[in-house]
Amino acid sequence: MQRGSIDTIHQRVQVTYDYPVHFTDDVFSADNPIVRELCRASVGRTSAKVLTVIDGGLTSVFPELVSQVETYFADERTTATLVQAPILVVGGEAIKNDHAAVTQIHEAIEGHGIDRHSYVIAIGGGALLDMVGYAAATAHRGVRLIRIPTTVLSQDDSGVGVKNSVNLFGKKNFLGTFAPPYAVVNDMQLLTRLPDREWVGGISEAVKVSLLKDADFFAYIEEHAADLVARDVETMRWIVYRSAQLHLNHIATSGDAFEFGSSRPLDFGHWSAHKLEQISNYRWRHGEAVSIGIAVDSTYAYLGGMLPEADWKRIIQVFQALNLPIFAEELQSVRAPDGTLAVLAGLNEFREHLGGQLTIMLLHGIANGFEVHEMDEARIIESIELLRGLQDAQNHNEEERHGRQRREQLSPVSATAD
Confidence of residue 410 (pLDDT cuts 50, 70, 90): confident
Task: Summarize pLDDT for 371-383 with one digit per residue, the tens.
Answer: 999 999 999 999 9
What is the structure's pLDDT at 1?
Answer: 54
Instruction: Tell whether the model's pLDDT for residue 222 goes beyond 70.
Output: yes
What does the pLDDT read at residue 376?
Answer: 97
Residue 48 · residue 119 · CB < 8 Å: yes
**CATH of the domain spanning 209-404:** 1.20.1090.10
pLDDT at residue 418 in the model:
40
* φ/ψ of residue 231, rounded to 5: 65, 45
Local confidence band at 23 (pLDDT 50, 70, 90 cut-offs) = very high
Q: How far apart are CA 113 and CA 389, in angstroms?
A: 57
> Looking at the predicted structure, is the pLDDT value of residue 258 above 70?
no
**Over residues 13-27, mean pLDDT:** 90
263 confidence band (pLDDT: 50, 70, 90):
low
- Which pTM does this prediction carry? 0.88
Please give the single-letter amino acid code of residue 73: F
Distances (CA, A) of 364 to 212, 311, 326: 10, 9, 20
- State how far the Cα of 218 lies from the Cα of 366, in Å rounded to an integer: 8
The amino acid occupying position 131 is: M
**pLDDT tens digit sequence for 277-291:** 999 999 999 999 999
List Cα–Cα distances, 147 to 202, 374, 379, 403, in angstroms: 17, 37, 41, 45
Instruction: Check pLDDT > 50 for residue 415.
Output: no
Q: What digits encode the pLDDT tens for the residues 304-327? A: 999 999 999 999 999 999 999 999
Evaluate whether the domain defined by 21-194 bears CATH number 1.10.1740.10: no
- Geometric angle at alpha carbon 130, from 127 and 133, rounded to 5°: 145
- Residues near 103 by Cβ (< 8 Å), separated by ≥ 6? none
Average confidence score pLDDT of the chain = 91
331-358 confidence digits (pLDDT tens): 999 999 999 999 999 999 888 877 778 9
Q: How far is CA 409 from CA 93, 395, 401, 412, 414, in A?
A: 40, 21, 12, 8, 13
Residue 12 has pLDDT above 90, yes or no: no
- Give pLDDT, residue 247: 93
CA distance 84 to 257: 35
Confidence of residue 2 (pLDDT cuts 50, 70, 90): low
pLDDT exceeds cutoff 60 at 271: yes
Query: What are the structural domain ranges in the chain?
Result: 21-194, 209-404
